[in-house]
Amino acid sequence: MEKENLSVVLHSQGDLRLEQRPIPEPGPNEVLLQMHSVGICGSDVHYWQNGRIGDFVVKKPMVLGHEAAGRVVKVGSAVKNLKEGDRVAVEPGVPREMDEFFKSGNYNLSPTIFFCATPPDDGNLCRFYKHSANFCYKLPDNVTYEEGALIEPLSVGIHACRRAGVTLGSSVLICGAGPIGLVCLLVAKAMGASQVVITDLSADRLVMAKELGADFPLTVKREDGPEELAKRVEGLLGAQPHITIECTGVESSVQTAIYATRPGGVVVLVGLGAAMTTVPLLNAALREVDIRGVFRYCNTWPMAIAMLASKKVNVAPLVTHRFPLEQAVQAFETTRQGHGVKIMLKCDKTDQNP
């Protein structure tokens, strides 16, 4: 096995470096992975540009990356479910204790959870990475490493659509056609949504949304009023949507989400915006519109793998750029500038295939 472990390390706000780190030794319940494909997430870029997200502050050097797939190269002494050579997708959130959230199946809400590339926990944008074997999921032969890495954003879509109650015949508005809006679209359609409207400022992103199955791509302008936009959505669908999935975090978009949703419907907030956001709460309350939050995901990897293996969902078109790990800084700059949809870093020098 090679001896070098090139890693993408954020030292502080704006200070992103490629550096060698020791290859970790897996504990009894862990596996050592040779990383293959790791996607760049908006949160990775946000930590690089701002040094923090909310209360999570970068105080010491941290390896970035949490959308990942790789190959098992070493197995801990107590691991039963995996063996050397297995191709796996990595679920980045691993609960540290069996608290009430773990016991109730909502382990994503556990305050002490380990999570890749959330300070102070290191991520997996590197050559070699160790992870809890219970949170590495074997990939079927017909699912590529890149698809395996895309299970992480796909999981956000699954969790959001579950929280929203998307089902056969649902009409859905999705605000924002970035990577998360697009996976919400894919999952909503797979779960039986009959009609989906998706909005964005970018016409290019809406072209991709149309290709991925959106019924009504709707280009919006910054100056559009939320109530006016809500009316346009109703005009397209012939009625207000049952469900709105808000993926931007922008205040005016959250307002649109509430105004647009039909009485008794559900708004799910996926996008993260300002800590204090002004919304028409009374409008939602008087019309019994439920507003639900989303924090990452839980219990989504098995469903995501089944969706990909059965070809019910195709995430491959989301990958628009690929860079070798050595060009990580350039890849981050490309993401920051908003080029393409999903940018994938290839961490295995001997295999740069999808």
Closest CA to 108 of 159, 180, 150: 159
Q: Where are the domains of the chain?
A: 5-138+315-346, 157-293
CA distance to 35, 290, 327, per residue, from 81 (Å): 19, 40, 34
Burial of 278 (0-12, 13-18, 19+ CB in 10 A): exposed
Would the pLDDT of 2 be above 90? no
Q: Where are the alpha helices (DSSP H) in the chain?
A: 42-50, 100-103, 145-149, 151-164, 179-190, 203-211, 226-237, 251-260, 281-286, 301-309, 328-336
Q: Which two tokens stand for residue 127?
A: 């050559």
Whether the upstream peptide bond of residue 120 has omega within 30° of 0, thus cis, is yes
The gap between the terminal CA atoms of the chain, to the nearest Å, is: 22
Task: Tell me what the mean pLDDT of segment 58-65 comes to.
Answer: 98
Would the pLDDT of 3 be above 90? no
Would the pLDDT of 300 be above 90? yes
Which residues, at least 6 apart from 250, have a Cβ–Cβ distance to it below 8 Å?
Answer: 271, 273
Model pLDDT for residues 172-192, shown as the tens digit of each residue = 999 999 999 999 999 999 999
The CATH code of domain 5-138+315-346 reads 3.90.180.10
Task: Tell me what the mean pLDDT of segment 306-310 comes to.
Answer: 98
Mean pLDDT of the chain: 97
Q: Which run of H or of E encompasses 114?
A: strand 114-115
**What pLDDT, on a 0 to 100 scale, did the predictor assign at position 228?**
98
| Side chain identity at residue 60, one-letter code | K
**pTM to 2 decimals?**
0.97
Which residues, at least 6 apart from 275, have a Cβ–Cβ distance to it below 8 Å?
Answer: 54
Strand partners, 245: 174, 268
What is the DSSP annotation of 172-202? EEEE--SHHHHHHHHHHHHTT-SEEEEEES-
The count of residues in the chain is 354
Would the pLDDT of 1 be above 70? no
Which residues, at least 6 apart from 168, have a Cβ–Cβ distance to it below 8 Å?
Answer: 191, 192, 194
Instruction: Find out whether 8 and 331 touch, Cβ atoms under 8 Å.
Output: no
d(CA 299, CA 324) in angstroms, rounded, equals 31
Cα four-point dihedral sign 243, 104, 57, 115:
negative
Task: Tell me what the mean pLDDT of segment 81-85 comes to.
Answer: 98
Is the CATH number of domain 157-293 3.40.50.300? no
Q: Which two tokens stand for residue 276?
A: 């204090």
Would the pLDDT of 193 be above 70? yes
- Residue 273 C-beta-side C-alpha neighbours within 13 Å: 18
Cα four-point dihedral sign 341, 89, 159, 44:
negative
Would the pLDDT of 46 be above 70? yes
